[in-house]
Structure 1
Amino acid sequence: MQKKLIALAVATLVAAPAFAQSNVTVYGVVDMGLDHRSGSKTHKNRSGLDSGLQSGSRIGFRGVEDLGNGLKASFVLEQGINVDRNSTAGLLGSNANRQSFLALSGGFGTVALGRQETPQHKFVDAVDPFGGGTVGQANGVYAKTASRLDNVIAYVTPDFSGFSLTAAYTANGTADEAAIPKNTPDTNLKVFALHPVYKNGPLLVGLNYIRTKAETATQDNKSSTWEVGAAYDFGVLRLSVLYGEIDYDNHATYGDNDRKQWMLGASIPVGAAGKVAVSYVNAEYDKKIAGNNIEGKQVAVGYFHDLSKRTNLYAAYAKRSDEMRFTNSGSGVVENNTGYKNGLNVGIRHRF
């Protein structure tokens, strides 16, 4: 019986040459840890075994086909996974679709179409000593436009001795492009992003510009973001800095307001397998929001230890100011004195 099953499996593989020739790679992350929150004015302390504290748990498929003459077609299909609990959406959970895009690349660069990570998200996480993960991530106070957007068309230039430029646009970054009746507000979220970056050895430096617009019956809900960031690895430590400003124009939540934010951080090697990460993040608005002066601060420290090239342990602690606290789930910021003030993560991550 066992020999018959093996023969059947081999026959199935032989009968599917198209899959074998398409050069498809399966990859993913399984991340589990303890998440503890405290210091809320409205909620009891919370401790839970959660998925995706350092990196979102996921499974992905990446494929590429050589079309000849330097031209290649490629795709990424990446799905989030809830490892810690059952879900009405099954294994993949409700946050299933992380990335899904098709790309064409050659001597001209790369053009990609679909749901994609934003240039700002990738750059900020590359500069952040916490890599955009755990309670220590800069994104807890340092606001990003979005991690991923729908319906994106992106162009990335070839690499010119370390320099490249990404331009991206979406006609609706959070849903399908709706059919809008005439003489009514265009509620589609339009986002344009421009990101030049230079990477050379220990040096990483880049700029971001993002413009967003989504109309309502009474407002345009526009914002413009620009930022500069850099990181340099001195060997004994990697020093990181970010500075950005967001200009809100007639926004439903922030009105006509400006937000200034910055981060200073460092990553310090400990032996051959460990590193300590530290950061300080600050954000403030020029004007009051709902009658409140809003200023956020976060101090974070963490330790990451590699057990192998694919598996690591992590521990991180962060403390935020009263005005900007962790939400109940730890994913984002609540800016009117709700949520948790202190966060602690301890966990393990495996990449495959």
Structure 2
Amino acid sequence: MQEENYMQKKLIALAVAGLVSAPAFAQSNVTVYGLVDVGFSNLGGSSTHKNRSGIDSGLQSGSRIGFRGVEDLGNGLKVAFVLEQGLNVDRNTSGGLLGGSTNRQSYLALVGNFGTFAFGRQYTPQHTFFDSIDPFNTGTVGNVENLYATGVNSAVGADLGAGAIRLDNVVAYVSPDFGGLTVTAAYTANGLADESATEKNTKSTDAKVWAINPVYKNGPLLVGLNYHRITIDSLDGTSNNDAKNSVWDLGGAYDFGAVRLSALYGKSKLSGDAIDTLGIKNTQTSWLVGATIPVSEAGKVLVSYIKTELDYSSSTGLKDRDAKKFSIGYTHDLSKRTNLYAAYAKLSSDKVGDDLAFDSVFRNESNYKRGINIGLRHKF
């Protein structure tokens, strides 16, 4: 999603750095904001599905409507909130907007000289970190998250929060700015559902997530580290059935003026008794190099190359695999709030069976190996 201004994401959490930026805190009222994104999408190269063409919502950035506000409590203390709902503008669905629950961000925050504490559903620090480095700002078929560090087996992926960009029940803290350095720390006792009641003499099936994300920004330089750990005491409440996912990422970007260069490198390790039983114990290594190249006052060319390698434990008997994706795109500002965009991506992989496929330029999209997006985005 290409956005310095995108939702003014600056201050928050495990989700996060998706709070509200300082200018919003200066207000004492409620602000309605949103984004409408719609375009043409063509996906091809699948071994299982016909080529797909369609008009889709949220190709570069998810279409949404939201409310944010702040109250000045005095003595440098403020309370702020965000309630945000996703929309599908291409069809007759509202994603819960009318009578439903919010499905993007929804949190309440306390802000002061000590930093920011936020409580609720929020962006993960990893997603916010990737968004600041990826030339495609985690949007379109060029999105780094379509391939990078999303390779947890689907049998446990939902429980482990694999690929999740927002988590529930988050308590997050964002430090003050120390000469360009900010630190986000977050915890949730169950990131994908409400914290469940656990019967006595059984183990919890909740997915617990700890995360920390220090980031340093100084002029054209951005560099940071993400680490998070996801643990489940038991996938089914029995003993000796735990699962763990440990993830770390190192990345940065430098804007030379004529080009902004970006890089990411990280590892994701899947382990635990349940993982051993399922026979999917593995380590995933991913890296990205990319560039954002201004070609006019309004236009930028976007380029990225991603490679992911999956190394299984020898005890699983599964073959190691890898996947690569090349992406190129262009974005053109028509105004401060409206832009046109186009993107193309092609993925190649040595897929072996259906056990954890690096199978799409879009996550979970029917084994498509190439994709084109052309669209229009407006922010209000």
After TM superposition, is the score higher than 0.5?
Answer: yes
- The answer to whether the aligner puts 1:278 opposite 2:306 as a matched pair is no
Q: CA shift at 1:97, angstroms? A: 1.2
CA contact (8 A) 1:248 1:254 kept: no
Matches within 5 A, 1:155-170: 155-170=173-188
Matches within 5 A, 1:115-264: 115-143=121-149, 145-214=163-232, 215-216=234-235, 217=238, 219-250=241-272, 252=275, 255-264=280-289
CA contact (8 A) 1:82 1:92 kept: no
Report SS of the residue matched to 1:326: coil
CA distance in 1, matches of 2:285, 2:364: 15
Q: CA shift at 1:114, angstroms? A: 0.4
In the alignment, what sits opposite 1:45?
A: 51
In the alignment, what sits opposite 2:9?
A: none
Q: CA shift at 1:192, angstroms? A: 0.3
CA distance in 2, matches of 1:311, 1:111: 32
Scaled by the length of structure 1, the TM-score of the pair is 0.88
In the alignment, what sits opposite 1:4?
A: none
Please list the CA deviations of residues 62-101 of structure 1 after superposition, one character each: whole Å capped at 9, or x if unmatched: 1011110000000000110010001285656989510000
CA contact (8 A) 2:271 2:281 kept: yes
CA distance in 2, matches of 1:82, 1:88: 6
Moved over 6 A (4+): 92-95
Q: CA shift at 1:161, angstroms? A: 1.2
More displaced 10-residue stretch of structure 1: 200-209 or 281-290:
281-290
In the alignment, what sits opposite 1:13?
A: none
CA distance in 2, matches of 1:73, 1:118: 21
In the alignment, what sits opposite 1:305?
A: 332
Consecutive unaligned residues in structure 2, runs of 5 or more = 1-26, 151-162, 352-357
CA contact (8 A) 1:31 1:55 kept: yes
In the alignment, residue 291 of structure 2 is paired with which amino acid?
A
Scaled by the length of structure 2, the TM-score of the pair is 0.82
Residues 1:220 and 1:94: Cα distance change in structure 2 (over 3 Å): farther
Q: CA RMSD in A?
A: 2.0
Please list the CA deviations of residues 21-74 of structure 1 after superposition, one character each: whole Å capped at 9, or x if unmatched: 951111111000011100001000000100000000000111011110000000
Q: Which has the larger radius of gyration?
A: 1
Q: CA shift at 1:313, angstroms? A: 0.3
CA distance in 2, matches of 1:233, 1:326: 30
In the alignment, what sits opposite 1:293?
A: 320
Consecutive unaligned residues in structure 1, runs of 5 or more = 1-20
Please list the CA deviations of residues 248-295 of structure 1 after superposition, one character each: whole Å capped at 9, or x if unmatched: 113546732111000000000011000000000010111177834321
Residues 1:180 and 1:228: Cα distance change in structure 2 (over 3 Å): same
Residues 1:95 and 1:297: Cα distance change in structure 2 (over 3 Å): farther
CA contact (8 A) 2:88 2:95 kept: no
Residue-pair matches, total: 326
CA distance in 1, matches of 2:71, 2:127: 27
Report SS of the residue matched to 2:139: coil
CA contact (8 A) 1:138 1:281 kept: yes
CA distance in 2, matches of 1:87, 1:175: 23
CA distance in 1, matches of 2:128, 2:45: 31
Residues 1:120 and 1:80: Cα distance change in structure 2 (over 3 Å): same
Which of 324, 347, 351 is the matching residue for 2:375?
A: 347
Matches within 5 A, 1:5-44: 22-44=28-50
CA contact (8 A) 2:180 2:217 kept: yes
CA distance in 2, matches of 1:64, 1:301: 39
Residues 1:157 and 1:294: Cα distance change in structure 2 (over 3 Å): same
